[in-house]
Amino acid sequence: MEKRGFDKGLALLLALAAAKLVFHIATNGQYGFHRDELQFLSDARHLDWGYVTYPPLTPFLGRIEWELFGASLTGFRLFPALAQSIVFVVAGLMARRLGGGRAAMLLAAFAVALGPVSLSGSALFMYVTFDFLCYVLLAYFVVCRIESGDARWWLAIGAMVGLGMMTKYTAAFFVAGLVAGVVLTTLRVDLRSKWLWCGVALSLLIFLPNLIWQFRHDFVTLDMLQHIHARDVRIGRADGFWPEQLYIASNFVTVPLWLLGLWFVFATDRGRRWRILGWMALIPFAIFVAARGRGYYAAPLYPMLLAAGAVQLQTFIDSLHVAKWRRGAWAASFVIVFCGAIMLRVCLPLVPVNSPAWGRVNDLNGDFREQFGWPELAREVARVRDALTAQERAQTGIWASNYGEAGALDLYGPRYDLPQAWSAANSFWLRGPYGPTPQNLIVVGAGRKDLDQPCTTVELAGHTGNDARVENEETKWHPDIFLCRGVRKPLAQMWPKLAEFM
């Protein structure tokens, strides 16, 4: 089996993945940093073994990109594009390990690559991108273990479990699927293998630094996750879980293919060998349903089902007795999958803001509008600061109410000699307080009614906005910038109660 490593199928996958990478590099710089990317950028410059919102792997990768590319938007999104190009290759290789030929490999690779989460993950620096990669690799290594019969693959599986937990805590749900799959299939014989337990030990060793960090910080992330989940349920973000499996967690045109994959692993004699993949999908899915998770959480479950579906489709097509029918069936299958490319306009930063299509694309994908206005925010705060007397400037600090604002001021503030902004959002709160309380504060992101008690006087001093005139969270929900004079209490004294999880 291993001798197939450099065959034409792999060469074609690598060439297409390289073209995909070049495409994303060429198109990823059209708008600006997303508010979540600004948080990652700030955390990347304050490396630690944990953060309030997520484990440390994604900020660590962000730090590498910061050192390599600085504040380059295209450079910062290189690793996401690379990660999803790797997913493209691994999906094809998984189909081959499952018994598929070259056509099945390519069909699986394109079906996975056209998934909305994979597309968006190619263009945004988010932990979702790397979480997706980790689970695809985990599934692939499980397939390698079964196909090769070599229990040493549990070391690779354990490494991916550990790295997955260092990327996103919902990886624990995926691990539950893996454990159930081992117990419920013939792979349970490996429970007597030292390699499985060595893999378990390796996963725990990789995750241990973050676990220690959580212990030392009173498991602050649990408080954050409970708060965020309650908020999401309250405002209805979890209500669309089921329909979102058809157009967010997977591409709507590939739904028949992953359903075919489920049928393959659970209902066919040939697929019985790979039944663990079905449990690795169904168990986490059931947990997400029970926990009222958001729809995109389940996206990493579909690549292995798509690979299995491509293999079963190959079985159907191979059963056709006429060669031209087989060629026609494959051609039709690829045409159907390629129809999913319609999602490129919705998921990638391709549509110019001044084009007629922008309004529709913006309605479908709210992530785009949150990529505008951050340099302008720092510029406006600097204008408010510069309008003060020299004496007042020396006594005035900046307060950012959310992590996007704090991250933007962290990134763009130095070009205007702005002081370090105070913020109690997520890990900005954990790193504070930031020194002696300023006498006055320029406050971004707060409402007027929230400032009367902590300040002696409050003056409307400016407005958020962006040069593209795109309405987003900043311009719609907290458009005002206030100058608050006479902060009544030391911020350090109030700091433990100021934490904002978002």
C-alpha to C-alpha distance for 151 and 204, rounded to whole angstroms: 19
Query: Among candidates 103, 126, 501, which has minimal Cα distance to 299?
Result: 126
C-alpha to C-alpha distance for 288 and 282, rounded to whole angstroms: 10
pLDDT computed for residue 355 by the predictor: 92
The residue extents of the domains of the chain are 2-345, 372-497
Q: How far is CA 444 from the centre of its chain?
A: 27
User: Across the chain, which distance is largest between two alpha carbons, in Å?
Assistant: 88
Query: Among candidates 479, 489, 400, which has minimal Cα distance to 453?
Result: 489
Looking at the chain, the number of H-run helices and the number of E-run strands are 25, 4
Strands 396-400 and 480-487: unpaired
Structure tokens belonging to residue 80: 């996401």
Structure tokens belonging to residue 6: 């450099």
Weakly modelled stretches of the chain, pLDDT under 50:
1-3, 5
Coil, strand, or helix at residue 455?
Answer: strand
C-alpha to C-alpha distance for 190 and 155, rounded to whole angstroms: 13
Query: Among candidates 32, 27, 39, 74, which has minimal Cα distance to 376?
Result: 32
Residue 123, H or E segment? helix 116-123
C-alpha to C-alpha distance for 285 and 290, rounded to whole angstroms: 9
pLDDT computed for residue 6 by the predictor: 56
Cross-strand pairs, 462 = 481
Annotate 488-502 with b (16+ C-beta within 10 A) or e (fewer).
eeebeeebeeebebe
C-alpha to C-alpha distance for 383 and 416, rounded to whole angstroms: 9
Coil, strand, or helix at residue 320?
Answer: coil
DSSP 357: T
| Contacts of residue 179, Cβ cutoff 8 Å, sequence gap at least 6 | none
Sheet architecture: strand order including 440-444: 396-400, 440-444, 480-487, 455-463
Angle between helix 78-97 and 57-69 (nearest 10) = 130
Is the separation of the CB atoms in 50 and 210 below 8 Å? yes
C-alpha to C-alpha distance for 465 and 113, rounded to whole angstroms: 35
| Contacts of residue 462, Cβ cutoff 8 Å, sequence gap at least 6 | 380, 381, 383, 384, 480, 481
C-alpha to C-alpha distance for 306 and 112, rounded to whole angstroms: 7
pLDDT computed for residue 212 by the predictor: 98
Angle between helix 153-165 and 194-216 (nearest 10) = 10
Coil, strand, or helix at residue 370?
Answer: helix
Structure tokens belonging to residue 143: 């397939």
Is the separation of the CB atoms in 400 and 445 below 8 Å? yes
Neighbouring C-beta atoms of residue 390, cutoff 10 Å: 6
C-alpha to C-alpha distance for 420 and 405, rounded to whole angstroms: 12
Neighbouring C-beta atoms of residue 438, cutoff 10 Å: 19
Query: Among candidates 84, 172, 59, 105, which has minimal Cα distance to 313?
Result: 105
Coil, strand, or helix at residue 469?
Answer: coil
Neighbouring C-beta atoms of residue 231, cutoff 10 Å: 12
**Residue-wise DSSP of 279-291:** HHHHHHHHHHHHH
- Peptide bond just before 438 cis, omega within 30 deg: no
φ, ψ dihedrals at 480, nearest 5°: -100, 145
